Structure 1
Amino acid sequence: MPRVLVPALTTPPARPVGGRVRAFGGATMGTTWSVKAVLPATTDLPALEAMVQRALDAIVREMSPWEPLSDLSRYNRAAAGSWTPLPPATATVLRRAIAVAEASGGAFDPTLGALTDLWGFGPRPFSGGPPLATDIAPLREAGGWKRLTLDGDALFQPGGLKLDLNGIAKGFGVDQAAAALDRAGVKSYLVEVGGELRGVGAKPDGQPWWVELERPPPHGLAANDAERTVVALHALAVATSGDYRRFFDHDGRRYAHTLDPATGAPTINSTVSVTVLAEDCMSADAWATALTVMGPDAALAFAAARGLAALIVSRSPAQGQNEGGLEERLSPALRAMLDA
Structure 2
Amino acid sequence: MTPAADLAPRVLVPLAIRGEPPAWGQVVHALQGQSMGTTWSVRCVGPAALRLDAIEAVIAATLNDVIAQMSHWEASSALSRFNVAPPGHVQSLPAGFATVMDAALRVATASDGAYDPGAGELVALWGFGPAWLRPRHDEPGFALPTEAQIAAAQRDWRTLRWDAHQRRLTQPGGVRLDLSAIAKGHAVDRVSDALAECGLPDHLVEIGGELRGAGLKPDGQPWWVDLEPPTPDCGLPPTRLALHGLAIATSGDYRRCFTTADGRRLPHTLDPRSGRPITHGMASVSVVHDSAMWADAWSTALTVLGHEAGLALAQAQGLAALLVWREADGRFAEAWTPALQELAL
Tell me the amino acid that sits aligned with residue 91 of structure 2: T
Match of 1:329 among 288, 310, 335: 335
Instruction: For residue 45 of structure 2, give the secondary structure of its aligned residue in structure 1.
Output: strand
- Counterpart CA distance in 1 for 2:337 and 2:157 is 27
The residue aligned with 1:147 is 159
Instruction: For residue 284 of structure 2, give the secondary structure of its aligned residue in structure 1.
Output: strand
Match of 1:62 among 59, 62, 69: 69
Match of 1:40 among 27, 47, 62: 47
The residue aligned with 1:321 is none
Contact 2:203/2:214, CA 8 A, preserved across alignment: yes
Structure 1: state its 5+ residue gaps: 319-323
Instruction: For residue 314 of structure 1, give the secondary structure of its aligned residue in structure 2.
Output: strand
Deviations 1:128-149 (A, max 9, x none): 4421111000211xx1221111
Following superposition, the deviation at residue 217 of structure 1 comes to 2.9
Match of 1:286 among 297, 306, 310: 297
Contact 2:247/2:291, CA 8 A, preserved across alignment: yes
Normalising to structure 1: TM-score of the pair? 0.93
Contact 2:234/2:331, CA 8 A, preserved across alignment: no
The residue aligned with 1:174 is 188
- Counterpart CA distance in 2 for 1:180 and 1:215 is 30
Following superposition, the deviation at residue 244 of structure 1 comes to 2.2
The residue aligned with 2:20 is 14
Contact 2:135/2:142, CA 8 A, preserved across alignment: no
Following superposition, the deviation at residue 266 of structure 1 comes to 0.9
Deviations 1:93-141 (A, max 9, x none): 100100111111211110000010000000122244421111000211x
| Pairing of 1:232-247 with structure 2 (within 5 A) | 232-247=242-257
Contact 2:122/2:272, CA 8 A, preserved across alignment: no
- Counterpart CA distance in 2 for 1:86 and 1:203 is 37
| Pairing of 1:209-220 with structure 2 (within 5 A) | 209-217=223-231
Following superposition, the deviation at residue 7 of structure 1 comes to 1.7
The residue aligned with 2:152 is 138
| Pairing of 1:165-314 with structure 2 (within 5 A) | 165-217=179-231, 223-250=233-260, 251-314=262-325
Following superposition, the deviation at residue 49 of structure 1 comes to 0.9
Following superposition, the deviation at residue 224 of structure 1 comes to 4.1
Contact 1:78/1:84, CA 8 A, preserved across alignment: no
Deviations 1:282-315 (A, max 9, x none): 0000000000011001111211122101111100
| Matched residues, number | 327
- Counterpart CA distance in 1 for 2:236 and 2:66 is 35
Following superposition, the deviation at residue 46 of structure 1 comes to 0.6
Tell me the amino acid that sits aligned with residue 53 of structure 1: A
Tell me the amino acid that sits aligned with residue 183 of structure 2: A
The answer to whether the aligner puts 1:315 opposite 2:317 as a matched pair is no
CA RMSD of aligned residues (A): 1.2
The residue aligned with 2:172 is 158
Contact 2:15/2:343, CA 8 A, preserved across alignment: yes
Tell me the amino acid that sits aligned with residue 98 of structure 2: A
The residue aligned with 1:51 is 58
Instruction: For residue 101 of structure 2, give the secondary structure of its aligned residue in structure 1.
Output: helix
Tell me the amino acid that sits aligned with residue 244 of structure 1: Y
Tell me the amino acid that sits aligned with residue 148 of structure 1: L
| Pairing of 1:23-34 with structure 2 (within 5 A) | 23-34=30-41
| Pairing of 1:94-105 with structure 2 (within 5 A) | 94-105=101-112
Instruction: For residue 42 of structure 2, give the secondary structure of its aligned residue in structure 1.
Output: strand
- Counterpart CA distance in 2 for 1:326 and 1:128 is 33
Following superposition, the deviation at residue 51 of structure 1 comes to 0.1
Tell me the amino acid that sits aligned with residue 311 of structure 1: L
The residue aligned with 2:4 is none
Instruction: For residue 57 of structure 2, give the secondary structure of its aligned residue in structure 1.
Output: helix
Instruction: For residue 85 of structure 2, give the secondary structure of its aligned residue in structure 1.
Output: coil
Instruction: For residue 82 of structure 2, give the secondary structure of its aligned residue in structure 1.
Output: helix
Contact 1:174/1:193, CA 8 A, preserved across alignment: yes
- Which moved further from structure 2: 187-196 or 256-265? 256-265
